[in-house]
Amino acid sequence: MPLPPFAAAIFDMDGLLIDSERATLRAWTEAALALGVVLHESDYLQVVGKAAQDSHAILQRHLGGAAPFEQAMAAVRAALEEGEGRELRFPLKPGAAALLAQLQAAGIPCAVASSSRTDEIAHRLARVGVLPHFAAVAGGNEVLRGKPDPALYALAAARLGVDPDRCLAFEDSHNGACAALAAGMGLVVVPDLLQPAPEVAQSCLAVLGSLQEALPRVPQWFASTVPRDSR
């Protein structure tokens, strides 16, 4: 794995920047139960970090086919809808805003590499006020193979114009962590629903309790592009 200093930061979104995974898990288990199906947390964890087409295929198997899946999906979308004036269901995770502001002040370009669709990424990050911090966005709908394939992270790095081995990825899920490592990036894991597997923990720079814990490490991890006399 490449070592610091890095020239760019690439972030996952769900479960890392925004607190969305628990609400989504609850919505899916409730929707499944309404159809007479018990969807266990371990079943849902199989889809975390995967691209939509892959996660949908897994959920279809658990729910018993395409028809019940579509019914459950409609119920989940209704439960999680975040239109203007509605409740903010996906707030920022602790430390996210402060870390993004610190990276911006240091002149470090940031991107998002999320399995969510690009329009969902833009909507959710705009709702919590951090979308302007990102110079590039790469969504799961833009690649043929989703996480753990490295294509999504490679796309985000290309849009920043930074070589993958000069990027530090921030992830919460196993699939996302494997994608970042396969892309040749440095990796920091901030677990959400599940702790990282031992092989992932051994391959990353740090496993943190929150993004807040990354703040004092920014000078160590990143090569600031801001001239010293302008700080």
Q: What is the pLDDT, as a whole number, of residue 228?
A: 56
Q: What is the pTM of this model?
A: 0.86
Catalytic residue among 14, 19, 172, 192: 14
Note whether residue 112 is domain-resident: yes
Is residue 172 annotated as a catalytic residue, yes or no? Answer: no
What is the separation of C-alpha 171 from the centre of its chain, rounded to a whole number of angstroms?
A: 6
Mean predicted confidence (pLDDT) in 163-188: 96
Is residue 12 annotated as a catalytic residue, yes or no? Answer: yes
Handedness of CA 110, 114, 118, 119 (dihedral sign): negative
Q: Do residues 212 and 98 make contact, with C-beta atoms less than 8 angstroms apart?
A: yes
Assess whether 98 and 184 both reside in one domain: yes
Alpha-carbon distance of 135 to 125, in angstroms, equals 13
Q: What is the pLDDT, as a whole number, of residue 87?
A: 52
Alpha-carbon distance of 129 to 100, in angstroms, equals 11
Give which of 160, 119, 122, 150 is closest to 49, Cα–Cα. 150
Digit-coded pLDDT (tens) for 198-223: 999 999 999 999 999 999 999 999 98
Q: How sure is the predictor about 85, in pLDDT bands with cuts at 50, 70 and 90?
A: very low
Strand partners, 92: 18
Cα R_g (the chain), whole angstroms: 18
Assess whether 173 and 73 both reside in one domain: no
Give which of 105, 102, 98, 100 is closest to 227, Cα–Cα. 105
Note whether residue 108 is domain-resident: yes
Mean predicted confidence (pLDDT) in 70-92: 75
For residue 174, give the CATH number of its domain: 3.40.50.1000
Q: What is the number of structural domains in the chain?
A: 2
Residue at a domain's end among 42, 59, 80: 80
Handedness of CA 39, 40, 43, 45 (dihedral sign): positive
Assess whether 137 and 211 both reside in one domain: yes
Catalytic residue among 12, 19, 172, 192: 12
Mean pLDDT of the chain: 89
Domain that holds residue 76: 21-80
Assess whether 192 and 164 both reside in one domain: yes
Digit-coded pLDDT (tens) for 110-153: 999 999 889 989 988 999 999 999 999 999 999 988 899 999 99
